Amino acid sequence: MKFFFAPLQGYTDAAYRRFHNETFDGCIDSYYTPFLRVEHGDVRAKDLRDILPENNQGIRIVPQIIVKNVDEFLILINAILPMGYQEIDINMGCPFPLQLKKGRGAALLDRPQGVKEIMKEVACIDDVRFSVKMRLGNNDKNQWQEILPILNDAPLHHITLHSRIATQQYKGDVDFDLFSLFQNACCHKLVYNGDITTIEQLSEIKSNIPNLYGVMIGRGLLSNPSLVWEYVNNTTLNEEEKIERFLILHNKLFQFYESKLQGESHLLTKMKTIWDYSESLIGRKALKMIKKANNIAKYSQIVSSL
């Protein structure tokens, strides 16, 4: 079973991916990048910088794109492929209202014809592994039934399914029954995504869902960056050890951002995001104190007392 780090806009940038990979001995098979998108007719420069090969050395990344149509698809593909990438993931699950309004992400699931046109282009591009990351639907949990046959006909390498609809965002239970129906109807390799936060859950998913190609984990890895490392090394770390490893990653990121970002407030804002999903690891009180720190000295003092 493969282990993939999910794309997380605002969190898993090139530095985070590189230092995570370095800290946890390359236990992640691929890091999916936050989606690249078209703005004013062109690819955002910031998005392209994030996938520059020199910023992603020694680590396997899969650039992800979010598009509303073939025009946007081609703009992005033509910018990414010359960098040497041979694998691209297409986002059909994003529930962010800004992207939905533009007809991208999960909004594509409302438009089977749009999906068909994009898959027609996918079929014309040789030597590139395309994958799709999707939800069951945008606002209806049966929409996949019309979309999946189109994807089945396309030369995709795999599909990643987050078994919720976009209107749920991340609320409510992941629908395992529909995941299973989807799997039965899917001709491609399938990756599970959604709500994995412990090694016990990883083991359960592995034994309850046969023939999975892989699992993709997002927030669970932000809150415990050791999670996959523990699983593949068959080791359970105690809370102290988990925090210790979190801090090793944190300190690398701190040093990196300190040298890159201008001004204390930028550094402080960026570093605070590293803790956004850490409440289960460090507790509510410590998290609150970190979020309240109003200068770097105070911030560092709280972090070093963890």
Q: Applying CB under 6 A, which residues contact ligand FMN?
A: 6-10, 34-35, 64, 91, 93-94, 133, 162, 193-196, 217-220
> DSSP of 72-102, one letter per residue?
HHHHHHHHHGGGT--EEEEEE----HHHHHT
In the complex with ligand FMN, the residue whose CB is nearer, 143 or 193, is 193
C-alpha 68: how far from chain center: 19
> DSSP of 99-121, one letter per residue?
HHHTT-GGGGGG-HHHHHHHHHH
In the complex with ligand FMN, the residue whose CB is nearer, 93 or 137, is 93
CB of 81 to ligand FMN, least distance (A): 19
- What's the rounded Cα separation, in Å, for the pair 38 and 233? 40
CA distances from 95 to 108, 123, 172, 217 (A): 11, 26, 14, 17
CB of 299 to ligand FMN, least distance (A): 22
CB of 294 to ligand FMN, least distance (A): 24
Tell me the residue length of the chain: 306
**Residue at token pair 């415990």:** 224
In the complex with ligand FMN, the residue whose CB is nearer, 162 or 242, is 162
Helix-strand-coil split of the chain, %, nearest 5:
50, 15, 35
In the complex with ligand FMN, the residue whose CB is nearer, 76 or 302, is 76
CB of 28 to ligand FMN, least distance (A): 13
In the complex with ligand FMN, the residue whose CB is nearer, 195 or 279, is 195
CB of 136 to ligand FMN, least distance (A): 13
In the complex with ligand FMN, the residue whose CB is nearer, 213 or 264, is 213
CB of 298 to ligand FMN, least distance (A): 26
**Edge-to-edge order in the sheet of strand 129-137:** 61-62, 30-32, 2-5, 214-217, 189-193, 156-165, 129-137, 87-92, 64-65
In the complex with ligand FMN, the residue whose CB is nearer, 3 or 302, is 3
Report the residue number whose CB is nearest to ligand FMN.
218
- What's the rounded Cα separation, in Å, for the pair 131 and 170? 22
CB of 227 to ligand FMN, least distance (A): 10
